[in-house]
Amino acid sequence: MTAGLLLRRLAHDGRGGFRHGDSRFLLIRPETLVGVQQAVERALGARAAECFVEGGRAGGARALSSIAGSAEERARGLTAMAADLGWGTLAVETLTPTSLVVIGSNSPFPAAHAATGDPVCHLTRGVLEALAENLFGRRVPVHETHCEAAGAERCRFEAVDVSSHPAQGGGAVDVSSHPGRTGGKMGGTPRPPHS
Ligand SMILES: [Zn+2]
């Protein structure tokens, strides 16, 4: 999917909704989401982040249900869709059978968030947890190790599947053969992520 294509495909249903197929989309200002995020942070403290990660996982899993192909194609499809929808650019830096690193820039959340020393892109992190689960076939936590909101040049997200032990499983696992539970039926031709 090329940049901007999804947005151009959205059809207004004449009743206050945007649709693409059977999926509804909502244009929302970052200030709205960040306002909710900061209110939940005031109420829950550090536990707030996980609430937004869970929301991101739900949306990411929905997005991945429409993306088929090899592991690399699914990763690139999801990051292209994120850019299409205004979440900034997400570039897959590393994709192996046990690790995923994604570099984010121009995230919509830091600019709308008050100055902070902590990462704030929890929704994006949740979307990438859905991707990691899709790629690895199991829940894998994603950490935002660097964030534009905390002064970094880019946001950096890292998933490491620590529960996977390729040495004990008869060699490296081809992630392409594990489309995961969240993505529905996967088409395409499986191939290694770096072929
Ligand atoms: Zn960030």
Report residue 144: phi and psi, to 5°: -90, 100
HSE-CB for 10 with a 13 A CA cutoff: 17
In the predicted model, is pLDDT for residue 170 greater than 70? no
Return the pLDDT at 163: 76
Return the pLDDT at 40: 96
In the predicted model, is pLDDT for residue 187 greater than 50? no
- Rounded Cα distance between 55 and 160, Å, is 21
Task: Please tell me the distance between residue 146's alpha carbon and the centre of ligand 1 in angstroms.
Answer: 7
- Rounded Cα distance between 66 and 53, Å, is 21
Task: Please tell me the distance between residue 179's alpha carbon and the centre of ligand 1 in angstroms.
Answer: 27
30-177 CATH fold: Muramoyl-pentapeptide Carboxypeptidase; domain 2 (3.30.1380)
| Least confident stretch, 1-10, 58-67, 124-133 | 1-10
In the predicted model, is pLDDT for residue 51 greater than 70? yes
Task: Please tell me the distance between residue 118's alpha carbon and the centre of ligand 1 in angstroms.
Answer: 9
Return the pLDDT at 4: 60
In the predicted model, is pLDDT for residue 102 greater than 60? yes
Amino acid code (one letter) for 70: S
Q: Residue 89: which region, alpha, beta or left (left: phi > 0; alpha: psi -120 to 50)?
A: beta
Task: Please tell me the distance between residue 65's alpha carbon and the centre of ligand 1 in angstroms.
Answer: 25
Task: Give the residue-averaged pLDDT of 39-44.
Answer: 95
The domain limits of the chain are 30-177
Task: Please tell me the distance between residue 144's alpha carbon and the centre of ligand 1 in angstroms.
Answer: 7
In the predicted model, is pLDDT for residue 174 greater than 70? no
Q: Residue 162: which region, alpha, beta or left (left: phi > 0; alpha: psi -120 to 50)?
A: alpha
Evaluate whether 76 touches 2 at the Cβ level (below 8 Å). Answer: no
Q: What is the SS3 assignment for 11?
A: strand
Task: Please tell me the distance between residue 178's alpha carbon and the centre of ligand 1 in angstroms.
Answer: 28
Q: What is the SS3 assignment for 51?
A: helix
Question: Bigger pLDDT: 162 or 133?
Answer: 133
Task: Please tell me the distance between residue 173's alpha carbon and the centre of ligand 1 in angstroms.
Answer: 30
Mean of pLDDT over the chain: 85
For the chain, count helices (H), then strands (E). 6, 7
DSSP 109-138: HHHHSPP-SS---HHHHHHHHHHHHHHHSS
Task: Please tell me the distance between residue 66's alpha carbon and the centre of ligand 1 in angstroms.
Answer: 26
